[in-house]
């Protein structure tokens, strides 16, 4: 990856993070730490991988991204707005009555959202169905699923993981945002999901582990997944930092993971993000 | 004597020949007559999801997002109860086109016992906004409804049983629609609304009631949601009383739907012949029907009582 490309992606991710802070701050809700951990993964996919047409959001031949990590939808919304699927002004109505951007993604309301969600653990299954329909129509659709590590506690995930291997399609890539947290604390302290690599491998998946904040590694992971043997789904276990980019969020000083920022902390967080890029002054 | 299960199997095959976007998913039901006709002719459009109903429903949603018409089949007990979250989240809330087919419903799982018998499925599916609920009463209507359900733009739940029941036949194709119903006997003494196998019990009851001077109007309410409201209300205006008969728990089924309609639009006495909030047990379907009071005798008894209280 060229340094200029990396800098461009880092700059986009920074702006997305700022929008996420504003959205969760203004709405006084949303899972800030979980949003910030997944930002770089979806920025990379939406800017460098997915074959999409933001001006034609329902283009039938587009690649699909199933965002299973629904509670982190502010990150997805901020990415979709910045990618041109809808006006960025919509972000500030997130979670309000009548808003296009609901508390959980609704594909029929929001251009760019490819699948329903809200109750976790359904992303891989939805992706399987999308791949089956593409196979029947002889389309070379690629499907990406982005899920949280806490979701691995849900049984239906493994039903779908088993189905994906039976389907034998290499066109499915699942990113697991391994941020290590869930609402009640650390994932491992609540219900152990490790060893995740061995679990996916045992289910017939190819597995690669990366740093989920390093665009060069994300690039390698996507190239690896798409150039595989063609009959195995791939899981990219992306190690991430919850609250990435904001010190108090990274250190877990906000209370519960779902705890919103108050006005002062929001301003403080925005200043910290802006100073990290050397750019002064906000946009909103 | 044929089952609604096999009727749907025939209808799905016919629909599959007409529409190449219909895809059959099932939870390892290869031997069932509902699966075989379509899957043998269209193996490339048939997916055996294994005994994973939750995954089957999500996969169906993915297929629907990809432009297909998924038809997902399993035992009604597991399809509706085990996968309720997936049905609600991935099909009902987004209003995706999909057909859910619950087999061995009501008491028809018979000897399998209480867990395999399902008398709560209609209650679960009716409670979902946007979900249509169909309960065919014979082989021909079940076959016909396969096409209707696959042509509907939103989610549909179709409830099938394995009891062998007589054919009524398609009397008027225009009646056979979502939101439709069909009057199988006309009368001004009592309205009997029934669905599924209980339509046949209602017809038997009507014959006995006519000997007692009560002319029953029998409506096959195969569309439980939306209900054929105007047809039912027109009948209630003539008869002034109603009995509802269904092979389902008394809570959440056709009985409650008709009673609520009557209460708000034209209050008349309404009685329900249904499973009285109990679970089933092993036995042949016909033994269970007797044991739980789902026969023409109960319909006759309730009809005589509401007739004596009728309000016109």
| pLDDT tens for each residue of B117-150 | 999 999 999 999 999 999 999 999 999 999 999 9
In chain A, the residue whose alpha carbon lies closest to the alpha carbon of B84 is A119
Tell me how close the Cα of A158 comes to any Cα of chain B, in angstroms: 9
Using the Cβ of B113 and the Cβ atoms of chain A, whether some distance falls under 8 Å is answered with no
Claim to verify: residue B135 and residue B203 sit in the same structural domain: no
Residue B172 banded pLDDT, cuts 50, 70, 90: very high
Whether the Cβ atoms of residue B299 and residue B205 lie closer than 8 Å to each other = yes
For residue B230, pLDDT over 70 is answered with: yes
Residue B209 falls within a domain, yes or no?
yes
Tell me how close the Cα of B157 comes to any Cα of chain A, in angstroms: 19
Q: Which of A110, A118, A133, A158 to substitute to test the interface with B, most B CBs within 10 Å?
A: A133
The total number of structural domains in chain A stands at 1
Q: What confidence score (pLDDT) does residue B31 get? A: 67
Q: Per residue in B68-123, pLDDT tens?
A: 999 999 999 999 999 999 999 999 999 999 999 999 999 999 999 999 999 999 99
CA dihedral for B143, B148, B151, B154, sign (positive or negative):
negative
Claim to verify: residue B152 and residue B186 sit in the same structural domain: no
Close Cβ partners of A64 (under 8 Å, ≥ 6 residues apart): A114, A115, A127, A130, A141, A142, A143, A144, B65
Residues B271-298 have a mean pLDDT of: 97
In chain B, the residue whose alpha carbon lies closest to the alpha carbon of A138 is B66
The structure tokens 């890539």 sit at A173
Q: What confidence score (pLDDT) does residue A282 get? A: 43
Is B53 among the residues known to form the active site? yes
Give the pair of three-digit tokens for residue B182.
Answer: 């069909």
Q: What percent of chain B has pLDDT over 90?
A: 97
Using the Cβ of A36 and the Cβ atoms of chain B, whether some distance falls under 8 Å is answered with no
Close Cβ partners of B290 (under 8 Å, ≥ 6 residues apart): none
CA dihedral for B268, B269, B273, B279, sign (positive or negative):
positive
A135: domain range?
3-277
For residue A253, pLDDT over 90 is answered with: no
Look up the pTM and report it: 0.95
Q: Which of B27, B28, B59 to substitute to test the interface with A, most A CBs within 10 Å?
A: B59
Give the pair of three-digit tokens for residue A189.
Answer: 């302290």
Claim to verify: residue B35 and residue B77 sit in the same structural domain: yes
Tell me how close the Cα of A111 comes to any Cα of chain B, in angstroms: 14
Residue A284 falls within a domain, yes or no?
no
Q: CA A155 → CA A73, A161, A162, B264, distances in Å?
A: 22, 10, 11, 43
Contact across the interface for A132 and B61, Cβ inside 8 Å = no
User: What's the CATH code of the domain at B126?
Assistant: 3.40.50.970
Average pLDDT, rounded, for chain B: 97
Upstream peptide bond of B157 is cis (omega within 30 degrees of 0): no
Contact across the interface for B93 and A116, Cβ inside 8 Å = yes
> Maximum Cα–Cα distance for chain B, whole Å?
59
Close Cβ partners of B285 (under 8 Å, ≥ 6 residues apart): B107, B108, B110, B162, B163
Residue A283 banded pLDDT, cuts 50, 70, 90: very low
B265: domain range?
179-308
For residue B300, pLDDT over 60 is answered with: yes
Using the Cβ of B65 and the Cβ atoms of chain A, whether some distance falls under 8 Å is answered with yes
The total number of structural domains in chain B stands at 2
Q: What is the Cα–Cα distance from B225 to B195, expressed in whole angstroms?
A: 12
Residues A244-248 have a mean pLDDT of: 94
Q: Per residue in A137-174, pLDDT tens?
A: 999 999 999 999 999 999 999 999 999 999 988 899 99
Using the Cβ of A125 and the Cβ atoms of chain B, whether some distance falls under 8 Å is answered with yes
Contact across the interface for B59 and A125, Cβ inside 8 Å = yes
Q: What is the Cα–Cα distance from B248 to B198, expressed in whole angstroms?
A: 10
Claim to verify: residue B152 and residue B217 sit in the same structural domain: no
Q: What is the Cα–Cα distance from A44 to A177, expressed in whole angstroms?
A: 14
Q: What is the Cα–Cα distance from B237 to B240, expressed in whole angstroms?
A: 6
Claim to verify: residue B26 and residue B139 sit in the same structural domain: yes
φ/ψ of residue B155, rounded to 5: -75, 140
Using the Cβ of B89 and the Cβ atoms of chain A, whether some distance falls under 8 Å is answered with yes
Q: Per residue in B54-71, pLDDT tens?
A: 999 999 999 999 999 999
For residue A279, pLDDT over 60 is answered with: no
Q: What confidence score (pLDDT) does residue A80 get? A: 98
Residue A280 banded pLDDT, cuts 50, 70, 90: very low
Contact across the interface for A132 and B55, Cβ inside 8 Å = no
Residue A92 falls within a domain, yes or no?
yes
Residues A27-45 have a mean pLDDT of: 94
Residue A30 banded pLDDT, cuts 50, 70, 90: confident
Strand partners, B133: B157, B225
Residues of B in contact with A66 (CB under 8 A): 62
Q: Per residue in A85-96, pLDDT tens?
A: 999 999 999 999
Claim to verify: residue B192 and residue B153 sit in the same structural domain: no
Tell me how close the Cα of B63 comes to any Cα of chain A, in angstroms: 4
Q: What is the Cα–Cα distance from A221 to A207, expressed in whole angstroms?
A: 10
Claim to verify: residue B33 and residue B153 sit in the same structural domain: yes
Residue B174 falls within a domain, yes or no?
no
Upstream peptide bond of A212 is cis (omega within 30 degrees of 0): no
Q: What is the Cα–Cα distance from B217 to B197, expressed in whole angstroms?
A: 17
Q: Is A103 exposed, middle or buried (0-12, 13-18, 19+ CB in 10 A)?
A: middle
């Amino acid at each position: 990856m060229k340094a200029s490309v990396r800098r461009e992606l880092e700059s986009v991710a920074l702006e997305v993070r700022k929008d996420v802070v504003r959205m969760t701050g203004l709405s006084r809700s949303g899972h800030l730490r979980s949003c910030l951990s997944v930002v770089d993964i979806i920025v990379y996919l939406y800017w460098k991988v997915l074959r999409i047409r933001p001006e034609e959001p329902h283009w039938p031949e587009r690649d699909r991204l199933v965002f299973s990590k629904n509670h982190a939808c502010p990150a997805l919304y901020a990415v979709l707005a910045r990618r041109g699927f809808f006006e960025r002004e919509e972000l500030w109505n997130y979670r309000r009555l009548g808003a296009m951007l609901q508390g959980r993604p609704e594909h029929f309301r929001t251009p760019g959202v490819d699948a329903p969600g809200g109750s976790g653990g359904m992303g891989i299954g939805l992706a399987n169905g999308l791949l089956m329909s593409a196979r029947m129509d002889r389309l070379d659709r690629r499907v990406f699923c982005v899920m949280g590590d806490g979701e691995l506690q849900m049984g239906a995930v493994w039903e779908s993981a088993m189905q994906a291997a039976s389907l034998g399609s290499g066109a499915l890539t699942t990113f697991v945002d391994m941020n290590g947290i869930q609402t009640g604390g650390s994932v491992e302290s609540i219900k152990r999901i490790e060893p995740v690599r061995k679990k996916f491998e045992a289910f017939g998946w190819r597995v690669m582990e990366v740093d989920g904040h390093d665009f060069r590694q994300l690039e390698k992971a996507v190239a690896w997944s798409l150039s595989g043997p063609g009959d195995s789904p791939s899981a990219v276990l992306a190690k991430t930092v919850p609250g990435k980019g904001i010190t108090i969020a990274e250190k877990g000083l906000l209370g519960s993971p779902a705890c919103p920022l108050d006005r002062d902390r929001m301003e403080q967080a925005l200043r910290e993000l802006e100073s990290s890029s050397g750019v002064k002054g906000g946009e909103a | 004597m044929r089952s609604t299960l096999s009727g749907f199997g025939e209808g799905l095959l016919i629909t599959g020949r007409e529409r190449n976007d219909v895809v059959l998913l099932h939870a390892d039901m290869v031997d069932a007559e509902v699966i075989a006709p379509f899957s043998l002719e269209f193996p490339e459009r048939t997916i055996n999801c294994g005994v994973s109903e939750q995954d089957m429903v999500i996969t169906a949603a993915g297929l629907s997002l990809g432009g297909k018409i998924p038809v997902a089949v399993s035992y009604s007990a597991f399809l509706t109860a085990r996968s309720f979250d997936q049905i609600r989240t991935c099909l009902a809330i987004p209003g995706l086109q999909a057909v859910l087919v619950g087999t061995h419903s009501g008491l028809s799982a018979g000897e399998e016992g209480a867990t395999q018998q399902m008398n709560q499925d209609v209650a679960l599916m009716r409670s979902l906004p946007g979900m249509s609920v169909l309960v065919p009463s014979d082989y021909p209507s079940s076959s016909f409804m396969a096409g209707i359900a696959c042509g509907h733009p939103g989610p549909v739940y179709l409830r099938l049983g394995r009891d062998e029941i007589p054919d009524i036949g398609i009397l008027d194709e225009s009646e056979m629609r979502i939101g439709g119903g069909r009057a199988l006997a006309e009368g001004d003494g009592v309205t009997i609304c029934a669905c599924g196998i209980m339509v046949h019990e209602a017809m038997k009851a009507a014959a006995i009631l006519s000997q007692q001077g009560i002319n029953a109007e029998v409506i096959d309410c195969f569309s439980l949601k939306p209900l054929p409201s105007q047809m039912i209300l027109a009948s209630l205006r003539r008869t002034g009383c109603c009995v509802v008969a269904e092979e389902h728990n008394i809570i959440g089924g056709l009985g409650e739907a008709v009673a609520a309609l009557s209460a708000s639009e034209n209050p008349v006495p309404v009685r329900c012949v249904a499973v009285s909030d109990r679970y089933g047990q092993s036995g042949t379907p016909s033994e269970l029907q007797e044991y739980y009071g789902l026969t023409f005798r109960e319909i006759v008894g309730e009809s005589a009582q509401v007739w004596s209280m009728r309000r016109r």
